[in-house]
Structure 1
Amino acid sequence: MSTHSAAPAARLLLLDTASLYFRAYFGVKDLRQAPDGTPTNAVRGMLDMTSTLVTRFSPTHLVACWDNDWRPDFRVRAIPTYKAHRLVPGTQDKEEAPAELEAQVPIIRRALESFGIPVLGSDGYEADDVIGTLTVRHRGRGPVAVVTGDRDLFQLVDDEADVTVVYTARGGVRDAEVLRQADLQARYGVATGAAYADMAMLRGDTSDGLPGVKGIGDKTAAHLITTYGSLAGLRQAVADGDPAIKGARRTNLEAAADYLDVAPLVVHVAHDAPLPDVPLTVPRELADPATLQQLVEAYDLGSPVGRLMRALKLRPE
């Protein structure tokens, strides 16, 4: 009998960081200010959310995934309306966000890095692409939980690969739903994460500036993807003259051909974003205690920093 045992599963927790700090900013009513007048609600909320998630999911590996580019050129070239409604008027790359939140984002990053939590982004890519890439890299090593309030990432749900989405949009972080394929089936009528992405392309998404196909909503999109197996299968059936696709539906699908040609470039998260090869393990000691102490003193962060230290089982220096 072999004496070798399998390596313990590595539990990877991936944070859609911007999704969380936006939620913290709008959800944390504590608007106390630092002595210099900087608001701190998003910083405090982000640290508290991270504490809650670490306590709930006990990850062995943890990454705060970052938007190095929130509106990448390759997506805008494919569909120029992509996120265009979120631009600051007169700009091509600046996202509208409250000034009180923007002032806190660098503090959030410095705090996470001071703890030793990897903060990873990739130039020319969104945090979603970082999440997709790390999910693929981790396959076979253990479960992956993706924390987000963004439905776009439902495409990564994969029971076989043990990838779940911890969806914060309804219950917040503390009571966030953990979505598996059965949940996609029950809620949207699609059996897999990949089918969800195909459905999303047909349906469109006004929050991202994706037009979709005229006359096709959630239910019709799910029915078509289920019937034809995939968006590619549906488009092949249209091209082949399937008699079941007729009238206005055929007309609208044919009219949307150019959009459907490029929609996958926008909707599918990248699986190969360039990322530095750094350890992703949960920190066992503070990476930069001096900087963390400076942040605590400058922004009165003693309570949330203490909670995260306890969640990570870190000892103060």
Structure 2
Amino acid sequence: MLLDTPSLYFRAFYGVPESVTAPDGTPVNAVRGLIDMIATLVRDHSPARLVATMDADWRPAFRVAAIPTYKAHRVAQGDEEEVPAALVPQVTVINEVLDAVGIARLESPGYEADDVIGTLTHRAGRGAVDIVTGDRDLFQLVDDSRPVRVLYTARGLRNLQIVDEEFVTGRYGVPGRRYADFATLRGDPSDGLPGVAGVGEKTASALITRFGSLPALLEALDAGTTEGFPAGSRAKLAAARDYLRAAPAVVEVARDAPLPDADLAVPVKPRDPEALAALAARWNLDSPLNRLLTALGR
């Protein structure tokens, strides 16, 4: 089980009231919410291995070089992400709790959590993988043959959407392996990805279905082919040719991010009980940590 940890702690921050605090009044809503999320996931799905993936770089240089608007609207100052002030210190606490519990926490310099997930999924070979995220971009990793599924959190952890190839095809009209091509055409304003002007989900789906992939579509454009393009779309695609060649570097998750060696086994007892006890006392985490340790102990 691969956790898109930033996606989950942002959801926890906005889903749990800031009135949930430590004894000194510091908000710990994201910390407590994330701990309870992990406890629920472990209890309900019993993974053999568990990784909390992190963003070492929330806006990697290689993606900005390809598409300068990538996440530009979320830059606060310099190249720092705009994050609620009450959440920033909680990320440090989350890291300390994960380390004390013994849950593997992995990141890769210059890469996002999505890329760590892509790399670990690739390294798992034929092994089954569950990816927990609220990010549709990771639908590109879905693969029924292994299987690789996304446990999609858009409706909350109690109403997880199991995303497999049937879901992706039924919702978007393309197979999971082609979702990145589809998303490139459609665009994603939340990431500053413009897409092709005038090409929405239906046209994007029709194009990928017709040509099979974005590279094949570009090859048809370069060859001057007119057959197979929905009315009015060919000129729009031709005008966006430079974008279409650059965008895959942004949309496609990495499969080869460098990662340190780590023990990915689900811990059955805390790695550092003393540190965990100190964190529980300082940040008022006894109840959620007890629930997590009970789930892990099963």
Query: What is the aligned partner in structure 1 of residue 136 from structure 2?
Result: 151
* Distance in 1 between residues matched to 2:20 and 2:252, nearest whole Å: 40
* Distance in 2 between residues matched to 1:187 and 1:299, nearest whole Å: 42
Query: What is the aligned partner in structure 2 of residue 181 from structure 1?
Result: 165
Is 1:195 aligned to residue 178 of structure 2?
yes
| 1:163, distance to aligned residue in structure 2 (A) | 0.3
Is 1:284 aligned to residue 253 of structure 2?
no
Conserved? CA contact 2:18–2:27, under 8 Å: no
What per-residue deviation string (whole Å, max 9, x for no partner) do you get for residues 137-156 of structure 1? 0012x210000000010000
Which piece of structure 1 moves more, 101-110 or 14-23? 101-110
Query: What is the aligned partner in structure 2 of residue 80 from structure 1?
Result: 68
* Distance in 1 between residues matched to 2:222 and 2:110, nearest whole Å: 35
From 8, 23, 26, the counterpart of 2:11: 23
Query: What is the aligned partner in structure 2 of residue 271 from structure 1?
Result: 255
**TM-score w.r.t. length of structure 1:** 0.91
Query: What is the aligned partner in structure 2 of residue 5 from structure 1?
Result: none
Alignment of 1:297-308 (within 5 A): 297-308=281-292
From 46, 49, 52, the counterpart of 1:58: 46
What per-residue deviation string (whole Å, max 9, x for no partner) do you get for residues 157-176 of structure 1? 01112100000012x11221
| 1:237, distance to aligned residue in structure 2 (A) | 1.5
Cα distance 1:110–1:246, how it changes in 2: closer, same or farther (>3 A)? closer
**TM-score w.r.t. length of structure 2:** 0.97
What per-residue deviation string (whole Å, max 9, x for no partner) do you get for residues 87-138 of structure 1? 00x42x2111111111211001111111100000000000000000000000
Counterpart amino acid of 2:85?
A
From 210, 229, 254, the counterpart of 2:238: 254
Is 1:237 aligned to residue 217 of structure 2?
no
Conserved? CA contact 2:226–2:234, under 8 Å: no
User: What 5-or-longer segments of structure 2 have no aligned partner?
Assistant: none
Equivalent position SS for 1:309: helix
* Distance in 1 between residues matched to 2:20 and 2:58, nearest whole Å: 29
What per-residue deviation string (whole Å, max 9, x for no partner) do you get for residues 205-247 of structure 1? 1011111111101111011001111111111112222222376
Counterpart amino acid of 1:261?
R
* Distance in 2 between residues matched to 1:155 and 1:296, nearest whole Å: 38
User: What 5-or-longer segments of structure 1 have no aligned partner?
Assistant: 1-12
Which piece of structure 1 moves more, 179-188 or 276-285? 276-285
| 1:194, distance to aligned residue in structure 2 (A) | 2.0
Over the matched positions of the two proteins, sequence identity in percent amounts to 56
Which piece of structure 1 moves more, 39-48 or 237-246? 237-246
Equivalent position SS for 1:281: coil
Conserved? CA contact 1:17–1:66, under 8 Å: yes
Conserved? CA contact 1:30–1:41, under 8 Å: yes
Equivalent position SS for 2:22: coil
* Distance in 2 between residues matched to 1:303 and 1:35, nearest whole Å: 14
Conserved? CA contact 1:38–1:103, under 8 Å: no
* Distance in 2 between residues matched to 1:299 and 1:243, nearest whole Å: 63
Query: What is the aligned partner in structure 1 of residue 202 from structure 2?
Result: 219
* Distance in 2 between residues matched to 1:127 and 1:44, nearest whole Å: 21
* Distance in 1 between residues matched to 2:296 and 2:158, nearest whole Å: 17
Is 1:124 aligned to residue 124 of structure 2?
no
* Distance in 1 between residues matched to 2:226 and 2:88, nearest whole Å: 54
Root mean square deviation of aligned Cα: 1.2
Equivalent position SS for 1:103: helix
| 1:250, distance to aligned residue in structure 2 (A) | 1.5
Equivalent position SS for 1:99: coil
Is 1:204 aligned to residue 190 of structure 2?
no
Following TM superposition, the consecutive aligned residue runs of length 4 or more in structure 1 with deviations greater than 4 angstroms are: none
* Distance in 2 between residues matched to 1:103 and 1:246, nearest whole Å: 50
Conserved? CA contact 1:82–1:210, under 8 Å: yes
* Distance in 2 between residues matched to 1:15 and 1:305, nearest whole Å: 18
Conserved? CA contact 1:205–1:212, under 8 Å: yes
Aligned residues: 297
Is 1:38 aligned to residue 18 of structure 2?
no
Counterpart amino acid of 1:297?
A
| 1:284, distance to aligned residue in structure 2 (A) | 2.3
Counterpart amino acid of 1:68?
A
